[in-house]
Amino acid sequence: MDNDARDGLRQHYEAVLSRLEKGLGMAGRKREEVLLLAVSKFQPADAVAALAAMGQMDFGENYVQEGLEKRHELDNADLTLASKLRWHMIGHVQSRKASQTAGNFCLIHTLDSVKLASAMEKHLCQVDAVQKVLIEVNVGDEDQKTGLAREDLHALADHVQSSCPHLSLQGLMCIPPVYDAGEEARPYFALLRKLCEELRTYTGLALPELSMGMSGDFEWAIAEGATIVRVGTDIFGPRPHK
């Protein structure tokens, strides 16, 4: 990454941090209450390394293979920061890729079926590892989107608690049906918060995490209790073609 590109990345990153602080202030919340997740989908490893050098440690990937290859490239570059990075899986995971995913990410945001939970549990049992997960909820009831239907939430949580001891349920995630629409997304964030509160009561689990809010609406997600906001374009700029 050349100096001009690095300077542009820094400016974008600092602008997002400024927006984050403003959103926290408006919501009366503290900085440590919300994790900024830099979405590095389709971004080259040198861009990730440059952002890590600026202090960003958490990165989100949408595709299992791309994420693993990027991590391998950074590890091979022998960067001091590479071992400190925390990688999140924020894209849909097919059950056939459960063995590649489970145990390789600090948090998987997109658990959405009993089939996937069981496939992950089978692999984690073999390697004796625990994987933190969020359940992705289809808050807009959109047929074309992944995510669990609201009415199936308790059943999946029951399955995880009763049959998947190597999965640690941490909370919920959503992608609202409106894109880059600011306050219009707020009702969907409020809905996810309500569903999480109900699930805490139902399961007795702490469920501390709410992964919601992206470049165009994360301030409103923070206002509704987000603990993780996922920002890609506003940090890295337009995604390069895959």
Structure confidence at residue 142 (pLDDT)? 87
- 8 Å CB contact between 90 and 110: yes
Structure confidence at residue 166 (pLDDT)? 98
Cβ partners under 8 Å of residue 242, min gap 6: 42
Residue 167 carries which side chain, given as an amino acid letter? L
What whole-number distance in Å separates Cα of residue 213 and Cα of residue 115?
Answer: 27
Structure confidence at residue 178 (pLDDT)? 82
Q: Which residues of the chain have pLDDT under 50?
A: none
Structure confidence at residue 6 (pLDDT)? 94
Structure confidence at residue 78 (pLDDT)? 65
Question: To which H or E segment does residue 159 belong?
Answer: helix 153-163
Structure confidence at residue 157 (pLDDT)? 98
Helix (H, G, I), strand (E, B) or coil at 80: coil
